[in-house]
Amino acid sequence: MEPSRGPRFAILASRIFDGFVLGGPGAVLVEDGKIKGIGLPADVPSDLPRAELPEGATLAPGFIDLQVNGGGGVLLNDAPTVDSMRAIAAAHRRFGVTGLLPTFITDAPAGLRALVAAAPAAVAEIPGVLGVHCEGPFINTARKGVHREDFIRTPGEGDIEALLSLGRAGRSMVTLAPESVPAGFVASLARAGIRVSAGHSDASAAQVLAAADEGLTGVTHLFNAMSQMQGRAPGVVGAAMADKRLFVGVIADGLHVDPVALRTAYAACGAERLMLVSDAMSSVGAEADRFVLMGREVRLQDGRLTTAEGTLAGAHLAMDQAVRNAVSLMAVPIEHALAMAARIPATFLGLGHELGRIAPGYTASLVALDQNLDVIGTWIAGQPDFRPGDPSA
């Protein structure tokens, strides 16, 4: 590894997943928050501070979660503030998440305005917050899921201006129903640098493909709250599987989507378009087995979050478990599971040149995993967050 100036340290691991290939043993040299080089443990100078991972551990790009409603007992819709996003990001760090989009679901216009106002500061101040995700309110009531129908609406005067400002808040994302917004709405958001995704939608495949022509590039939680695939009506699911322009998020908890359907999605989309998301609620990283979402109690039972009516209300899922589930339920190689949790979402966000890989020049946002794929350490831009006593601290 090339010697360099300034504060630096090395991470030594039995295995290193660089975003494409799993190899090792190896050593990653970090300097000023960036990856300076990759080499063999023997290349590391004896006087260089180092973090030596346990035998059999893997160092990988940190997970990027595009759909995080809450965590650690905090729900973003309760208070769309910088402090809430800081708490949510901190709660998910122990699960390997070094980049995330705090997610705000359909709510009153005042709540959306508060989120938009807080987003730039959250991105600037909170390590790992890459932007925000507005899931709604421009969705189809026929596919509303747990979203409150009285807050679902079509875009009105001022909505486009409010959302366009998210283009200045990192790499933000909007989930909408293409059939519920006027022509040109998707294109306006896409031109502002916002990632637009189809979700909570009853659109035909033709409507989804027309939206993709305008700049829609994603599909939110595949199979859930959307028109399903049929032989003569492919719906959102069919469009997602067929159109290579679309990145596809999936909740791999085994509850939202049957394992057979997960394997079908993987077969159709491959690891280069499929992205693991948690859709996590405030119960993740907390002790409570119930919470209130938009005035309705949600209970956790047998790993499932539901309202009193039995409607699924987000997921009690963390990204490290989603990775393990991808291996066990989706039957994918570990390399593909790790890529779907990091490199693919980074690419979707337009950050594939700086996140999602272990390569020289990339940001040193990393996760360390033991042989069971349990998280034993994280770093964000070279700063350790989950390794007490790390010499790089």
200 is in an annotated binding site: yes
198-210 burial string, b = 16+ CB within 10 Å, else e? bbbbbbbbebbbb
Q: In sequence order, what are the residues at sequence separation of 6 or more whose Cβ sits closer than 8 angstroms to the Cβ of residue 349?
A: 64, 66, 130, 131, 171, 173, 195, 355
232 is in an annotated binding site: yes
117 is in an annotated binding site: no
- In the set 279, 302, 320, 390, the catalytic residue is 279
Q: How far apart are CA 14 and CA 56, in angstroms?
A: 5
92 is in an annotated binding site: no
CA 257 distance to own-chain centroid: 17
Q: How far apart are CA 298 and CA 310, in angstroms?
A: 9
146 is in an annotated binding site: yes
Q: Does residue 279 carry a catalytic annotation?
A: yes
Strand 22-23 relative to strand 15-17: parallel, antiparallel, unpaired? antiparallel
Terminal-to-terminal C-alpha distance of the chain: 22
Burial class (CB in 10 A: 0-12, 13-18, 19+), 285: buried
Q: How far apart are CA 321 and CA 278, in angstroms?
A: 9
91 is in an annotated binding site: no
196 is in an annotated binding site: no
Binding-site members for substrate are 146, 224-225, 232, 256, 312-314
- List residues forming the annotated binding site for Zn(2+): 135, 200, 221
Q: List residues with catalytic annotation.
A: 279
> Residues comprising the binding site?
135, 146, 200, 221, 224-225, 232, 256, 312-314
